[in-house]
């Protein structure tokens, strides 16, 4: 696997850049997106644009993102707006418009697929690509991808091509904005080891803090640490992973299969069953179906927000019902309970031929590359 070529592509200041497509006259100014009930910019009679400023904001909202001009003033993602206002009171403040960002997210991914059909979708503004089978050299491929995204959206992105996902992800951040970064294993000592450990995807605040108390701040210091010593402090699994990551090693494949839209299981009974007279048998079959759906969800790495049932009656007519949960789940008991609720909403006088359970509105389970969740 040592000759893989993996790309990570991440849009630059994504939400803010989409807003600037709409309001190009705001380019070059410090601008942040976020908050609650922030007024949208108003076009004045003289054609000028009137925009909220950070200093006008009162409330508990946070910044989703900031333009690079605003970042220069010390503000950025996840910072409270009131705190940001102290650092950059004159920065412009725009409300979030997820529909617009989703639209541009689809556009840039479609532009990439024109060149590399298989992508791993990692969220609204980033993707991984496996370029190993492409003939074209990395620099010109990356250039073409960037040009294609820019032509389709008017937006800039940063791309890194590296031997694996771990290094590609670190790399796309190295020369932002508008970065084009090529990394090989030779670049480890000069470009990766000086970086703080937090730059590794999978080292979160908790692990970062614990490493700091052990005197390890840079990836190079982590690489120099003894693997057994790390395992002693972080457990076998995470300790080994830390050691490998610091040496730029990562074997995770780019996962390009598209996620299923729904998962369902159904069963046609050997003989028609009646909801009352065959209650026990029906209940057991129902539970078994829910357990199989739950297992399918886990196997596919997704969780479901909507649970539905399908019944077919002795006269071959059928009905479906579904229910949306407060929280996505893969849990068989939760699915069984939701399906039971659905069952209360269908007529049960007739005998039944078939029973089905379906889970939909799927979203990916947490990325397995983040073992830090298990830390305490
Ligand atoms: P990022 O790719 O992390 O950031 P970015 O695209 O704004 O800037 P960069 O040039 O550094 O890549 O996140 C993508 C979008 O996700 C971002 O535009 C807004 C949203 N987001 C939040 O809503 N909250 C957050 O804490 C972060 C980090 C991002
Ligand atoms: Mg981004
Ligand atoms: Mg991103």
Residue 221 belongs to domain with CATH number: 1.10.150.20
**42 and 89 within one domain:** yes
Ligand 1 closest atom vs CA 11: 6
In a domain, 370, yes or no: no
pLDDT at position 261 is 86
Q: Indicate whether 233 pLDDT > 90.
A: yes
In a domain, 375, yes or no: no
Q: What CATH number is attached to the domain comprising 126?
A: 3.30.70.270
* Closest-lying ligand 1 atom to the alpha carbon of residue 68: 10
Q: How far apart are the first and last CA of the chain?
A: 33
Residue of 10, 14, 62 to test ligand 1 pocket, by largest number of atoms within 8 Å of CB: 14
pLDDT exceeds cutoff 60 at 211? yes
Contact by Cβ (8 Å): 82, 57:
yes
Least confident of 208-212, 249-253, 281-285, 364-368: 364-368
Angle between helices 98-113 and 14-22 (to 10 degrees): 100
Give backbone dihedrals phi and psi of 179, rounded to 5 degrees, phi first. Answer: -80, 150
pLDDT band at 133 (very low <50, low <70, confident <90, very high): very high
Does 173 share its domain with 203? Answer: no
CA distance 72 to 84: 12
Q: Decide which of 41, 64, 97 is a domain's last residue.
A: 97
DSSP secondary structure letter of residue 253: P
Positive or negative, the CA dihedral 287, 289, 293, 298 is positive
Query: Is residue 91 domain-shared with residue 104, that is, in the same domain?
Result: no
Structural tokens at position 202: 């999978």
Residue 372 in this model has a pLDDT that exceeds 60: no
Q: Are residues 269 and 353 in the same domain?
A: yes
Q: Whole-prediction pTM value? A: 0.74
pLDDT score at 259: 64
77-94 average pLDDT score: 97
Q: Is the pLDDT of residue 33 over 70?
A: yes
Could you tell me if 205 and 240 lie in one domain?
yes
Is the CB of residue 187 less than 8 Å from the CB of residue 145? Answer: no
| CA pair distance 112, 117, nearest whole angstrom | 7
Q: What is the CATH number of the domain that holds 355?
A: 3.30.1490.100
Is residue 317 in some structural domain?
yes
Is 58 a member of any domain? yes
Residue 125 marked in a binding site: yes
Decide: 125 in ligand 1 pocket, CB within 6 A.
yes
pLDDT in tens, 114-128: 999 989 999 899 999
Domain that holds residue 143: 6-12+100-189
| End position of a domain, from candidates 45, 68, 97 | 97
Distance from Cα 246 to the centre of ligand 3, integer Å: 22
Is there a single domain that holds both residue 147 and residue 182? yes
Q: How far apart are CA 144 and CA 137, in angstroms?
A: 11
Q: Given pLDDT bands bounded at 50, 70 and 90, which one contains residue 332?
A: very high
Domain finish residue from 189, 204, 221: 189
Judge whether 371 lies within some domain. no
Q: Which of 97-101, 183-187, 226-230 has the lowest mean pLDDT?
A: 97-101
In a 3-state reduction of DSSP, which class is residue 62?
Answer: strand
Residue 123 lies in a domain: yes
At 255 the pLDDT is: 86
* Same structural domain, 271 and 245: no
182 and 201, same domain (yes or no): no
Residue 248 lies in a domain: yes
Residue 177 is predicted with a pLDDT of: 97
Active site residues: 126
Q: Can you tell me the mean pLDDT for 133-156?
A: 97
Count of structural domains within the chain: 4
Find out whether 10 is annotated in a ligand binding site.
yes
Q: In whole numbers, what is the pLDDT of the chain averaged over residues?
A: 94
Q: Is residue 152 part of a domain?
A: yes
Residue 369 pLDDT greater than 50, yes or no: no
Residue 40 to residue 95: CA distance in whole angstroms: 6
Tokens 């450990």 correspond to what residue? Answer: 197
């Amino acid at each position: 696997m040592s000759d893989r070529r993996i790309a990570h592509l991440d849009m630059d200041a994504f939400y803010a850049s989409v807003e600037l497509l709409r309001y190009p006259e705001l380019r070059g100014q410090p601008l942040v997106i976020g908050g609650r009930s922030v007024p949208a910019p108003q076009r004045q009679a003289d054609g000028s644009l009137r925009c909220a400023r950070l200093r006008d904001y009162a409330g508990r909202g946070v910044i989703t993102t900031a333009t690079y001009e605003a970042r220069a003033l010390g503000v950025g993602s996840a910072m409270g707006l009131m705190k940001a206002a102290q650092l950059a009171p004159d920065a412009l403040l725009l409300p979030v418009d997820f529909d617009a960002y989703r639209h541009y997210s689809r556009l840039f991914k479609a532009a990439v697929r024109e060149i590399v059909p298989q992508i791993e979708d990692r969220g609204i503004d980033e993707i991984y690509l496996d370029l190993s089978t492409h003939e074209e050299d990395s620099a010109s491929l990356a250039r073409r991808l960037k040009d294609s995204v820019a032509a389709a959206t008017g937006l800039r992105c940063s791309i890194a091509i590296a031997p694996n996902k771990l290094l590609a992800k670190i790399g796309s951040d190295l020369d932002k904005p508008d970065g084009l970064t090529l990394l090989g294993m030779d670049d480890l000592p000069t470009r990766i080891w000086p970086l703080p450990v937090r730059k590794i995807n999978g080292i979160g605040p908790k692990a970062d803090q614990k490493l700091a108390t052990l005197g390890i701040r840079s990836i190079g210091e982590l690489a120099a640490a003894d693997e057994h010593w790390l395992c002693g402090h972080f457990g076998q699994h995470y300790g080994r992973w830390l050691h490998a990551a610091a040496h730029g090693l990562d074997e995770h494949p780019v996962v390009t299969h598209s996620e299923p839209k729904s998962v369902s299981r159904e069963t046609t009974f050997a003989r028609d069953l009646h909801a009352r007279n065959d209650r026990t048998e029906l209940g057991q079959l129902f539970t078994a179906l829910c357990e199989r759906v739950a297992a399918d969800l886990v196997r596919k790495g997704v969780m479901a927000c909507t649970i539905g049932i399908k019944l077919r009656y002795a006269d071959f007519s059928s009905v479906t019902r579904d229910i949306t949960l407060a929280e996505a789940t893969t849990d068989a008991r939760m699915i069984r309970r939701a399906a039971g609720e659905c069952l209360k909403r269908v007529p049960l006088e007739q005998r039944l031929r078939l029973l089905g359970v379906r889970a939909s509105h799927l979203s990916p389970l947490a990325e397995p590359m983040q073992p830090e969740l298990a830390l305490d």
